[in-house]
Amino acid sequence: MAERTKPVPHAKPFLKWAGGKTQLLDEFYKHLPEGLGEEGKITRYVEPFIGGGAFFFYLSRKFSFEKCCIGDANEELILTYRVIQKSVKKVIGELGILESAYFTRDEMEREAFYYEIRDAFNNDLPGINFQKYSPVWAERAAEVIFLNRTCYNGLFRVNRDGEFNVPFGGYKNPDILNEKNLQDVAQVLKNTRIISGDFTRCRDYVDDHTFVYFDPPYRPISQTSSFTSYSRGGFDEKDQHRLAALFRELDAKGAKIMLSNSDPRNGNNQDTFFDDLFDGFTIGRVPARRMINCNGARRGRIDELIITNYPTGKI
């Protein structure tokens, strides 16, 4: 039998990520399946749209699994998880260098330094082989964390050419290096398979002892509210349909599955897109506050859909 991970009580996301689920964790807890982390019941966890991993780290603080599998289409993000898994000390070393260089500068110089690192990060892109681990990955992972911590609003946004284009954040005291947390994250990642690419690539890791959580890019509520540029390519309605098909496929395999998305009925009560797509499953709605929205006026109460293939409210 595979060795189990132990819960890592303080591990938390090391990146800020658009669509992060930190504020919904207590609601999600009420929707967990029975038998999570129990021998002979649910011993695997799979999350194919990992982003900052708020739910993954939350579960890792509480439960123990034999195996976890995380994935994302964002190559820079996956590179960063892989380097932390393989050589966290190198990432800590590189990030420490960036942190000291940042804090020894005055405010004006900090901004120039930010753009210097951003330019270097973008100029290095053509030489990066995302498929093959290399020593330069540690430096790149440190740059991803540094840029994420010091950029405006903690976004990770790239243009069509894959270049990071978020402006400087100008925050007084950004938390750049949290060494203890990076070590905790590395501990969580020890028993974790990390997949780069489309969410369908996770299907082979799912069996009837698996809990799968899908947190896809939101289907935009209105034409102006889309913020789906986490990576090149986008996520359109065809992708939401492909995901629903995979949901049904894994349901037939006997996995326990949970999926969240923003509720289109907030904007238009007639919009039953997800109700139709997931007809026959359990569809719950919980209040959520959207953190990042390009139209500030629309911040306010918005429900989140939680769709499961099992009855909820049992634990």
Ligand X SMILES: C[S@@+](CC[C@H](N)C(=O)[O-])C[C@H]1O[C@@H](n2cnc3c(N)ncnc32)[C@H](O)[C@@H]1O
Nearest approach in angstroms of CB 72 to ligand X is 5
Give every CB contact of residue 217 below 8 A, 6+ residues apart in sequence: 19, 49, 228, 230, 234, 235
Residues, the chain: 315
Spatial separation of the C-alpha atoms in residues 86 and 108, rounded to whole Å: 36
Interface contacts to ligand X, rule CB under 6 A: 17, 19-21, 48-49, 51-55, 72-74, 198-199, 215-217, 230-231, 235, 239
Would you call 195 helix, strand, or coil by DSSP? strand
Would you call 300 helix, strand, or coil by DSSP? coil
Nearest approach in angstroms of CB 218 to ligand X is 7
Nearest approach in angstroms of CB 46 to ligand X is 12
- For 7, 16, 151, the CA distances from 61, given in Å and listed in that order, are 5, 18, 28
Q: Count other C-beta atoms under 10 Å from residue 215's C-beta.
A: 23
Closer Cβ to ligand X, 33 or 154, answer by number: 154
Closer Cβ to ligand X, 59 or 186, answer by number: 59
Nearest to 24 by CA among 200, 287, 297, 312: 287
Closer Cβ to ligand X, 239 or 303, answer by number: 239
Closer Cβ to ligand X, 4 or 226, answer by number: 226
Nearest approach in angstroms of CB 203 to ligand X is 12
Nearest approach in angstroms of CB 17 to ligand X is 4
Closer Cβ to ligand X, 199 or 281, answer by number: 199
Spatial separation of the C-alpha atoms in residues 300 and 287, rounded to whole Å: 10
Closer Cβ to ligand X, 199 or 205, answer by number: 199
Nearest approach in angstroms of CB 164 to ligand X is 13
Give every CB contact of residue 68 below 8 A, 6+ residues apart in sequence: 5, 44, 45, 46, 47, 56, 60, 188, 191, 192, 193
